Amino acid sequence: MSIGGFILRNAVRNKRRALLSILSVAVSLFLLVTLLVGLRELTQPPTDEASAARIVVRNKISLGNLLPRRQRATIEKIPGVAAVTPFTWFGGKFRDEEVMFGQFAIEPKLLLTIFGEAKMPPEQFEAFVNDPTACIIGIKTAEKYGLKLGEFMKLQGTFWPIDLNLKLVGIYADGIDDRNLFFHHRQLDEMPNNTGEVGTWWVKAASLEDVGPVVQTINAAFANTTAAVRAETERAFQLSFISMWGNIKMLVLSICSVVVFTLVLVSASTMSMAVRERFRELAILKAIGFRRRELFAFILAESFGLAAAGAVIGVGGAWGIFNHTDLVASASQNFMVLFEVTPRIMGQACFVATLLGIVASIAPSLSVARMSVVEGLKTLD
C-alpha cells in the first residue's frame, strides 16, 4: 500500500466524520463566498468600457435636489462634450407596489450614443424614438412582470406629481443593468405646473482624454449660480452612491471574519477529534519506526484533503448557483442582479481553505509530538 493510499484510507475511515467535516467546511466557504460576492455587488458598481467616458452632473447640495433645464445649452457648448441627456429618476409605483427597477426619463435619440451597450432590435428603438408616450425596459423586468410589446404600463408618481401611462415598444438585453425602464423626458417637461427641472445630466465625452477637462469646466461653469453642480465620472458617482450605504461594508467584512473564525474553530476541532480517535494507531506507527515528521505529514495531508474537498463543494457550489442560475436575482426580487463569483473571490476562498488545512493540523500535530509510544498504546478509547 502506498503512503497516499494509506492517508486516503485513514481520512475516510470514519465516513460519517469525514463527511460532516467536509460539509461543515463546505457550508462555511459557501457562506464566505456569498458574502464576498454580495459585498462586491454592493460596493463595485457594474461598469463597462464606455462608462469611463461618461460624466454625471448632479446638484452640488445633494442628489436629492434638482437642476434647471437651462443648463443643458451651456454644457453642450463645452469643448470635448459629445452628447448630453437629461437623466431623471422617476421612482413610480407599478401595479401598486414599490418596485426595485429604476425608471428614468431621458432623451431617446441620445440613448444609444451615450449608453451604447444594450442590444435591441433597430425597429424597436425607432419606435421608441418616434413615440413620445413610449418606453423600453430591460429583459429582466419584462420577464418578471410578464410584459409584452404593445402593452401599456401605468406608473404612479411618488416623487413626481404625475402618473404616466407608457406604451412598451422595446425590450433590450445585455446592457449593464437589464432591469431599467426608460421613457421620454418630454413626459416630465410637459407636466402641468412644470418648473423645468431635471434630476441629473449625463454627458458623453468625445474621448477619454477629454473627461478630466470637461469635468472641470462643467463644475466651474455653474459654480456661482443658484444651482451649483458636481460633475464627476460615472464611476466616482456610483461610488459616492454606494458610500451612502454607510457601515454596510464594515458590517459585512466583520461578519466575514466571524465566519472564517468559526470555520477554523469547528474544522480544527473536528480534525483533532479524528486524530484523537486513532492515537493508538499513530503510536503503533511510531513504534514501527515512523518519525514525527512523517506523522505530521499524515495529519497535514489529511487535514488538507478535508479542507480541499470542502472547498470544492462549497466554492464550486456557489459558483454553480450564482453564475449559472438566476436564483439570487429572483430570491432578492432582482435587487441583486449580477451576483457573480469572480476568480478573485474564488482565490480568496481557496486561500482560506488552505489556511484552514494548516491551522486545523496544528493541535493534533502537537499532541502527537508529545505522545509517548507506551502511553499511546495504552489509550483505549
Partner 1 sequence: MALPLRYNVRSVLIRWRSTLSTIFGIGLVVAVYIMMQSLAVGLEKSSANTGDPRNLLLVRKGSTAETSSQVTREQFKLLQYLPDIEKDEKGEPLISADTLILISLPRKGAAGEANILVRGVSKVGMQLRPQVRLTQGRMFEGGRREVVVSQKLAERFDNLGIGESFKTGGHQLQVVGWFDGNKSAFDSEIWMDSDDARSLFDRENYSSVLLRSDPTQWGALTNRVESDKRLSLSVIPETKYYSNQTATATPIRFLGNFLATAMSVGAIFAAMNTMYASVGARTREVGTLRVLGFRRRAILIGFLLEGAILAFLGGLIGCLLSLPINHYSTGTLNFQTFSEVVFEFNITPHLILKGLVFAVSVGLIGSLMPAIRASRLPVIASLKSL
CA 52 – CA 45 distance, rounded (Å): 12
If you search the block for the grid coordinates 440613448, which residue do you land on?
Answer: 111
Under rule CB under 8 A, how many of the chain's residues touch partner 1? 61
161 binds partner 1 (CB under 8 A): yes
Q: What is the smallest separation between the CB atom of 282 and partner 1, expressed in angstroms?
A: 17
Say whether 151 sits in a helix, a strand or coil: coil
Helix axes 292-324, 248-277, angle to 10 degrees: 140
**Interface with partner 1 (CB under 8 A), residue from 211, 266, 301, 309:** 266
**Interface with partner 1 (CB under 8 A), residue from 73, 96, 97, 247:** 247
In contact, 166 and 134? CB cutoff 8 Å = yes
Q: Single out the segment in contact with partner 1 by CB under 8 A; choices: 102-110, 130-138, 146-154, 159-167.
A: 159-167
Q: Which residues in 202-231 contact partner 1 (CB under 8 A)? A: 224, 226-228
The cell numbers describing 320, all together, are 454553480
The cell numbers describing 259, all together, are 465566519
Instruction: Select 79 or 246, whichever has its Cβ closest to partner 1.
Output: 246
Among 381, 375, 310, residue whose Cα is nearest residue 349: 310
Q: Single out the segment in contact with partner 1 by CB under 8 A; choices: 138-146, 147-155, 242-250, 319-327.
A: 242-250
CA 341 – CA 32 distance, rounded (Å): 11
Instruction: Select 10 or 272, whichever has its Cβ closest to partner 1.
Output: 272
In contact, 81 and 202? CB cutoff 8 Å = no
The β-bridge partners of 155 are 94, 164
From the DSSP assignment, how many helices (H) and strands (E) are in the chain? 15, 12
CA 136 – CA 134 distance, rounded (Å): 7
Q: Is 280 exposed, middle or buried (0-12, 13-18, 19+ CB in 10 A)?
A: middle
Q: Single out the segment in contact with partner 1 by CB under 8 A; choices: 114-122, 198-206, 211-219, 246-254.
A: 246-254
Instruction: Select 130 or 257, whichever has its Cβ closest to partner 1.
Output: 257
Parallel, antiparallel or unpaired: strands 181-184 and 229-233: unpaired
366 binds partner 1 (CB under 8 A): no
Instruction: Select 258 or 287, whichever has its Cβ closest to partner 1.
Output: 258
**Interface with partner 1 (CB under 8 A), residue from 10, 85, 233, 270:** 270
In contact, 175 and 138? CB cutoff 8 Å = yes
Q: What is the smallest separation between the CB atom of 209 and partner 1, expressed in angstroms?
A: 28
In contact, 274 and 250? CB cutoff 8 Å = no
Q: What is the smallest separation between the CB atom of 61 and partner 1, expressed in angstroms?
A: 5
∠ CA 237-241-247, nearest 5°, is: 140
380 binds partner 1 (CB under 8 A): yes
**Per-residue contact track with partner 1, 48 to 67, x per CB under 8 A?**
------------xxxxxx--
Beta-strand ranges (E) seen in 45-130 are: 54-59, 67-68, 81-89, 93-94, 103-106
**Per-residue contact track with partner 1, 6 to 35, x per CB under 8 A?**
----------xx--xx-xx--xx-xx--xx
**Per-residue contact track with partner 1, 316 to 345, x per CB under 8 A?**
----------------x--x----------
**Per-residue contact track with partner 1, 164 to 203, x per CB under 8 A?**
----------------------------------------
276 binds partner 1 (CB under 8 A): yes
Q: Single out the segment in contact with partner 1 by CB under 8 A; choices: 126-134, 155-163, 179-187, 282-290.
A: 155-163
| Close Cβ partners of 126 (under 8 Å, ≥ 6 residues apart) | none
CA 195 – CA 143 distance, rounded (Å): 36
Summarize as ranges the residues that interact with partner 1 (CB under 8 A).
Answer: 16-17, 20-21, 23-24, 27-28, 30-31, 34-35, 38, 60-65, 91, 98, 156-161, 163, 224, 226-228, 239-240, 242-248, 251, 255, 258-259, 261-263, 265-266, 268-270, 272-273, 276-277, 332, 335, 380-381
